[in-house]
Homo-oligomer: A and B are copies of this chain.
Amino acid sequence: MKEILCGTSEITGARFSIYPMSDRFVDIILSSLKEVDTTKVWMMTDDVSTCVRGRSEHVFDVLKAIFLNASIGGDHVVLNATFSNGCPGDSAGDAFMAEDSYLMNNELSQKISQKVAAQFALYPLGIPGYMDVIMDQVKTVDQQGVFSGGVHYASRMDGDANKVFAAMESAFEGARNSDSSHIVMTVTMSANSPSRKEDQ
């Protein structure tokens, strides 16, 4: 049996998939990838998902850019991602920790205006007081104006994708500063859904 692979505490990673609800799903994904600069992250795709690893800011920068470029054509596109920091384990992707913090895709992403609906959940592992960490970070999201309330097992955000991503990144970084040394965050983000709430 192979070992469980995770990462060292410095590296942030995300395992994610982009789901375009379209016959052209392969084209949409490949076209999006062409637009995005992934030189500052370690990235590997298999038949189920893609894993990105590196400095936290570049992981968020790359995921946001891929999602925005996939949704730009108006197709119903969903991003599903699990972010992780501090999981005990191996060190693949370590080399990318030396990159500077200049975001390669931010200029491109900020030009794309895209309304999204998202549900996210934080899992601070290894500590009894994890619910306090979660509540604190939900407050962080609320302060950024994109929080729309709790649903079962998640918190909902609505608004512009750039703002929702910023709030999500704040919550993740806030949780990293808690007593928990291993933070997991999941998110499902939907663009151009035909069943989008009318009031958004």
Contacts and interface: CB of A to CB of B under 8 A. Distances in A.
Interface string A63-81: 0000000000000101010
Contact of A19 (B46, B78, B128): B78
Nearest to A44: B152
Interface in A67-118: 76, 78, 80, 82, 84, 87-88, 92, 117-118
Contacts of A2: 149-150
A193 B126 contact: no
Given A186-B186, A188-B80, A190-B48, A152 B13 contact: yes
A150 to B, nearest CB: 4
A153 B15 contact: yes
A6 B82 contact: no
Interface string A37-73: 0000000101111010100000000000000000000
Interface string A139-156: 100100001011111111
Most buried by B among A46, A156, A193, A195: A46
A2 B151 CA distance: 9
B123 A15 contact: no
